[in-house]
Chain A
Amino acid sequence: MQDEPRPDELVKAVAEFLRNDIAPQISGHAAFKLRVAINALDLVTRQLTLAGDSDAAELHGLMLLLGVHGTLEGLNRDLADRIAQGDVDLTTPGVKEHLWQTTLAKLAVDQPNYGSYKRELESK
Chain B
Amino acid sequence: MSERAVEALLARSVMIWCPGTTGVSAAARLSGGASQETWSFDITHPDGAIGAILRRAPPGYGAAPGRAAGLDAEAVLMQLAHDAGVPSPKVLHVLKPDDDLGTGFIMQRVAGETIPRKILRDDEFAQARPKLARQCGEILAGIHGLSAASLPQLRRMNAAAEIVELQREIDGFGGPRPVFQLALRWLRDNDPGASERVTLVHGDFRHGNLMIGSDGVRAVLDWELAHLGDPMEDLGWICVNSWRFGVIDKPVGGFGAYEELFSGYEAASGIAVDVARVKFWEVIGTLRWGVMCVGMMQRFRLGPDHSMERAMIGRRSSETEIDLLRLLAPRA
Residues of chain A having any CB pair with chain B under 8 Å: 33, 36-37, 39-40, 43, 73, 76-77, 79-81, 83-84, 86, 89-90, 96, 99-100, 102-104, 106-107, 110-111, 114-117, 119-120, 123
Determine how close the nearest CB of chain B comes to the CB of A24; give it in whole angstroms: 20
Q: Mark B294-330, 1 if CB is under 8 A from A, else 0.
A: 0000000000000011011001101101110110110
- Flag if B246 contacts A103 (CB, 8 Å): no
Q: Which of A39, A77, A116 contacts B322 (CB 8 A)?
A: A116
Q: A76-B176, A103-B179, A110-B316 are in contact. Are A116 and B241 (CB under 8 A)?
A: yes
Determine how close the nearest CB of chain A comes to the CB of B18; give it in whole angstroms: 32
Minimum-distance CB pairs A-B, first 9: A106-B318, A77-B176, A80-B176, A115-B248, A76-B176, A83-B181, A84-B181, A80-B178, A110-B318
Query: Considering the chains assembled together, what is the distance between the CA atoms of A67 and B246 in angstroms?
Result: 39
- Flag if B321 contacts A111 (CB, 8 Å): no
Query: Considering the chains assembled together, what is the distance between the CA atoms of A116 and B331 in angstroms?
Result: 12
Query: Considering the chains assembled together, what is the distance between the CA atoms of A106 and B246 in angstroms?
Result: 18
Q: Which residues in A have their C-beta under 8 angstroms from that of B319?
A: 107, 110-111, 114, 116-117
Q: A36-B308, A80-B176, A103-B321 are in contact. Are A111 and B181 (CB under 8 A)?
A: no
* Smallest Cβ-Cβ distance to A34: which chain B residue: B308
* Smallest Cβ-Cβ distance to B324: which chain A residue: A103
- Flag if B182 contacts A99 (CB, 8 Å): yes
- Number of B interface residues at 8 Å Cβ cutoff, please give it: 31
Q: A83-B185, A86-B185 are in contact. Are A116 and B248 (CB under 8 A)?
A: yes
Q: Which residues in A have their C-beta under 8 angstroms from that of B311?
A: 40
Q: Which residues in B have their C-beta under 8 angstroms from that of A123?
A: 331
Q: Which of B181, B322, B323 contacts A104 (CB 8 A)?
A: B322
B65: Cβ under 8 A from any A Cβ: no
- Flag if B318 contacts A83 (CB, 8 Å): no
B67: Cβ under 8 A from any A Cβ: no
Q: Which residues in B have their C-beta under 8 angstroms from that of A107?
A: 318-319, 322
- Flag if A103 contacts B315 (CB, 8 Å): no
* Smallest Cβ-Cβ distance to A84: which chain B residue: B181
- What does DSSP make chain A's interface, helix, strand, loop or mixed? helix
Query: Considering the chains assembled together, what is the distance between the CA atoms of A40 and B297 in angstroms?
Result: 14
Residues of chain B having any CB pair with chain A under 8 Å: 175-182, 184-185, 241, 244, 246-248, 308-309, 311-312, 315-316, 318-319, 321-323, 325-326, 328-329, 331
Query: Considering the chains assembled together, what is the distance between the CA atoms of A89 and B183 in angstroms?
Result: 11
Determine how close the nearest CB of chain A comes to the CB of B253; give it in whole angstroms: 14
- Flag if A33 contacts B241 (CB, 8 Å): no
Q: Which residues in A have their C-beta under 8 angstroms from that of B248?
A: 115-116, 119
Query: Considering the chains assembled together, what is the distance between the CA atoms of A81 and B248 in angstroms?
Result: 32
Q: Which residues in B have their C-beta under 8 angstroms from that of A39?
A: 312
- Flag if B321 contacts A106 (CB, 8 Å): yes
Determine how close the nearest CB of chain B comes to the CB of A10; give it in whole angstroms: 19
- Flag if A103 contacts B318 (CB, 8 Å): yes
Residue of B315, B316, B318 most packed against chain A (CB within 10 A): B318
- Flag if B309 contacts A100 (CB, 8 Å): no
List 19 contacting pairs A-B, 8 Å CB cutoff, sorted by A. A37-B308, A43-B315, A83-B181, A86-B185, A89-B182, A99-B179, A99-B182, A100-B329, A100-B331, A103-B318, A106-B318, A106-B321, A107-B318, A110-B318, A110-B319, A115-B244, A116-B248, A116-B326, A120-B322
- Flag if A111 contacts B176 (CB, 8 Å): no
- Flag if B318 contacts A40 (CB, 8 Å): no
Query: Considering the chains assembled together, what is the distance between the CA atoms of A77 and B316 in angstroms?
Result: 21
- Flag if A110 contacts B315 (CB, 8 Å): yes
- Flag if A33 contacts B308 (CB, 8 Å): yes
Q: Which of B175, B179, B316 contacts A73 (CB 8 A)?
A: B175
Determine how close the nearest CB of chain A comes to the CB of B317; give it in whole angstroms: 8
Q: Which residues in B have their C-beta under 8 angstroms from that of A43?
A: 312, 315
- Flag if B322 contacts A79 (CB, 8 Å): no
Q: A80-B177, A80-B178, A100-B329 are in contact. Are A89 and B318 (CB under 8 A)?
A: no
Determine how close the nearest CB of chain A comes to the CB of B310; give it in whole angstroms: 10
Query: Considering the chains assembled together, what is the distance between the CA atoms of A87 and B180 in angstroms?
Result: 16
Query: Considering the chains assembled together, what is the distance between the CA atoms of A110 and B179 in angstroms?
Result: 16
